[in-house]
Structure formats: structure tokens, C-alpha cells
A and B are shown apart, each in its own frame.
Chain A
């Protein structure tokens, strides 16, 4: 039987993507050739009953690779809408979105799904774990979708469970895990296959402040290890200290710092 170590050295480039083209240590002030996220003049109008609402009114935004980027703003300001657009799950009424240098507003449904599959990990407010599957299987299904199976998948699941501190809980179903543990499984699932982008919507909203902070600390640490860029929507000021950058959304417009 091959050990995980041996497998890893053979196939590390398969599991852990080569991030050499991205500057791992964020150095403010240094001009990078390619932002992780670039948003140009994004507008979103929605129809609500008889009237049209302008939710986003010209967003311009650049997120540097490897950053932990927070997006804050009052409730109803359109944070979730913006995140949904950046994740390729909703088309803006107008404007351009570039992820890792690719214009996702030009992609069709299938191309978007492929892009999300390989480049974006998601973390949700309500965890969105599969309740019928164990913690390990929740991670396995993400890998399975990416075509990672067998011994290779086993090793990555094991390593992810260890990295989120749940090596003893892998066989448990979500209903037997605490909120913080569930979100850690979700983090492991989001990191499976090492995507370069992690997108999270209010990931601490369902957690108490202590475990919320601990879980986000963990996310920050693991994302930094992977060199992933994190875009996190939150209105939780207690995790401000974990951010590299903070943006505010108000009246459909972005206000830096």
C-alpha cells in the first residue's frame, strides 16, 4: 500500500496547484501583474414588483492575490448580490468581472461551472453541509466532483481533516458536530483541491463570537498556507483584525478602508 507521503511527493502538483505565479507574501504597495479579482463598473438592477431597484451602481474593485479581503456594509446594501456576481452565480446588468485574469462575464453556464469547480471554494452562513454524509464524505464529494478519487482523495481528506483539527471527527455526520466544527468541515471542503479563491458569505453569523473568531483565524491561516485569496462578506466587526483589506458597500457603491 502506498503511503500518503509517497503519493504526495509524486503528485503534489496535482493536489496542490502551483501558485508560483502568484505572490504568496502580500506586499502592500508592490504592483502585481494580475489581480485575483478585478471588477469594472458593475451594475445590478433588479425588478421588485412594479419598480426597478438599482442595487449596485458602478462597482470598481481590485483584490490582490493572497489577500484576506473583507466586504462590510449595512444589511440590505447588496453585499450578497455582489458576492453572487463575483462567484459567477449571477450576471451583472452591466460591467466586467475578471477572476484570475479571466473575464467571467463572457463565460456560458457550463464554463462558469467548470471555473467554479476548479478555482473557487465556498463557505456559507449555514454551512450547507450534506446532512446524510459524514464529515470526511462531505470533503470527499468535493474532491470527487473534481475528479480526485481513490488513494489520492483519501490522503487529501486525511490531511484536510488534520489541518482543521477534526482528525477524530471524520466519521461523524454534521448533526453530531458543533457549529464551529461544522464550519471547519466546510472550510476543509472549500480548501479541497486547493482553489485559488475562497468566497464566504457571513461565515460567522451562525456561530458564537468566540468560535466564530477561532474558525476565521483557522481560515486565515490555511488560506495563507495555500496562497489562496479570500473574499468574505460579513457585518461581524469582531473579525476585522483578521483582514488584510476591508471594503464597505453603501448605497450600491464601494468605499475603501
Chain B
């Protein structure tokens, strides 16, 4: 009989009794409201910081994936899309600097894209040397790099195809008044900052940038009500060959092996007046910190994350406080029984910890789904790394502990003498 009862007790009772967990689960609707609140707070923080990270990372993507050791820019360069031009003569000068193995020009410039239906969108032209080695236009999905040597051909990023009304290779549009034909699709080079990227050769990019948008269209593009030039060959069959006077925006440098890069940078800057030479890492850092700090976008996204934390603290705080208010007599009883303040605090902190932990998991799942959906459909990168997931967990727990402070205040004030009052 004794043994029977004993085994029965062992299986049925947990002897490490957690009042916190039991009180939490005693009121399931309130528990779910708390979980939903934490879930959304977690999501808000994760998505905002993920957006910020993804945004700054994608802003420097073209730099990071380049194989250049050094990027030469105009002295007053602000970021990739805002700089005054250099010219090809300077690229040639750079080639002759000792320690330079290879120099390539790069054009990054805004332009207007016109679809066959005559609708407009803004694009960023990225002109580079398709036979070069230093610039990489993302991961190639379709097409061959060297087809870009054909005049008026472009690559576009997978994410911007719908915006540009492009469905397959061979589709086209107009840049200025010149035609553009899609011959390749890249992936993973899109950034919020530069918008829709059109990769092309330096020659074609130069021709595009000098071609004005006109009211006249080649007849194959014409829609009702617009003038049309009967001959679609009203533009030069080939872009003009480039001369030393032609503009580029950046010079990418590959150094000789075992070069001291800071010496090389000094030499480049002295040979090329009014320029700056940055290592790839510096250039990337510069771009990221511009978009993070000077643009205000980093601030806005950071503010969103802070609001998420505040909302979380308020929700968890409110739930904990009302839970404590509902269980005042129990806390009074514990106090009367001689439990130390720490026992009471532990109940509340444990409750906060459970809420935080159990809200974090669905929150992260929600974020993962949202992030992959956003990247797939919007081409916007929301970066959630293991490190950022751990950071958000830390923030969540901190958030819950902060909200526990209000509830602890309330418990501290409970007079155990209430246990004898009706």
C-alpha cells in the first residue's frame, strides 16, 4: 500500500513547483494575449534591425563582391550613386602606377527606362568591362558575360524584371532614345539604394547616358498617339568607341601580389589629383555608414526597433502587473508564510522569462516567413543572422525583465497582514 501510493505520487506530482508557470497557464486567454504582444514586439525588432542590416549590406554589395583591391573615386564622392566623374585618361594613368597590376573603369549612373508600353521607371546603369575581371555583377542566372560586348545589350537583376516589364532574354526597352535588349539575368545584386540595376558595357553605358529621352519613338516601340520614326535604325548601330576624354565614375584597381596597399593608395592619390583611393573594405564601410548614419534611413529603422521594444515592455509589463494584481492574496499568503522577497521576485521574473521565451519562438518564425516572402516578392533583403537572432533573444529577455520591475514594485508593497482580512 505504501509503495503503491509512493509510485503514484512520484508519477503525478512535480515537486519542483513553479507557481509562476502555473499561474501563467491558469489564465490561458491572458497568456495568449501576452504571447501575441511579445511575438509582435519581437517581430518588429527583428524585422526593423534585419531591414537595416539588409539595407546597409545591400548598399555596399557591388563593392563587396568586386575583386578590386582598391577603389579610386573623385575626392568629393559621397556614395556609389553620388560622385563627380573621372575620365578614362586617369584610368590609363593608374595602370602605369607601380604596384598596379590591372585597372578597370566603372560607370554608375542614373537613367530612365522606357518599356514597350511606354511606361517609365528609373534605373541605375552599371557600365563595366565585360572582358575584365575586377567587377562582378552578382550571380549570373542566365546568359554569358561576354554577350555584353554586343552593343545595346543589358543584364538585369531577377528582382527588377517585373518593374522593367521584362520576362525573358531577348525582351527589351529603351534607355533614353536607344534600345536595350536583355541578354542576361543576375541575382542578389539588387539594393534599395540604387534601385533597378542595368549592367552593360562601358561603351553602351556611355551611349545611354548621352542619349536624351525624346517624344519620338522607333516604330517597333510606338503606342497609339506617339510620334514614331519609320526607320528604327535612326541611332548609330554601334556606340561610339571610347576616348580618353570619356567619363567614368570609379577606377577599380588590382594590385601586384604582396603590395602594401596603403603605400599603393598614396601613390595612386599623388598620380591622380583630386581623387581618393580606398581599399575595398574602406569603400564598403564608407558606403554602409553613409546609409546608416547620414541618410537618416538607419535612424528611422532603428527608431522602429526601439518602438518595438517599448511596445513589448508596455504589453508584458501590463500583463505581469495585472497578473500580480489578480494574485495579490497569494503573494500575501507567501509573505505571511515567511517567504523572502526574493522568492516573490523569482515568481515574477520566472513568469517574465517564460512569456519572453515562449513569445520569442513564434515571433522568430513569423520573421523568418516574412523575411523570405519579402525578399522573394519585393527584392528587399531582411537579414536575420544567428547572431542577430541571439541579440533579439537578449533584447526580448531584457524587455521582459524591465517590465517585471513594475510588477515587483507592486509585490513589494503587499502587506502580508491582508491574509487575515476578509
Chain A positions within 8 Å of B, measured between CB atoms, are 3-4, 80, 83-84, 87, 89-90, 110, 113-118, 120, 122, 124-126, 128, 130-134, 136-137, 140-142, 144-145, 149-150, 153-154, 157-158, 162, 167, 170-171, 201
Contacts and interface: CB of A to CB of B under 8 A. Distances in A.
A179 B419 CA distance: 18
Nearest to A115: B338
B420 A145 contact: no
Contacts of A201: 420
A83 B417 CA distance: 10
A131 B23 CA distance: 8
Nearest to B339: A145
Interface in B312-341: 329-330, 333-340
Nearest to A190: B337
Interface in B326-361: 329-330, 333-340, 343
The 10 A-B pairs of least Cβ separation, nearest first, read A117-B338, A116-B338, A132-B22, A132-B26, A136-B13, A89-B417, A171-B12, A137-B17, A128-B333, A113-B338
B378 to A, nearest CB: 46
Interface string B17-29: 1010011011000
Contact of A141 (B2, B3, B6, B19): B19
Contacts of B3: 3
A125 B337 contact: no
B18 to A, nearest CB: 9
**Consensus secondary structure, chain A interface:** helix
**Consensus secondary structure, chain B interface:** helix
A55 B337 CA distance: 25
**Most chain B beta carbons < 10 A, residue from A87, A124, A141, A201:** A141
A136 B16 CA distance: 11
Contacts, number: 104
B194 to A, nearest CB: 57
A1 to B, nearest CB: 9
B339 to A, nearest CB: 5
Interface in B130-186: none
A150 B10 CA distance: 11
B358 to A, nearest CB: 17
Given A122-B419, A132-B23, A201-B420, A145 B12 contact: no
A210 to B, nearest CB: 23
Given A125-B422, A132-B25, A133-B22, A154 B416 contact: no
A162 B5 contact: yes
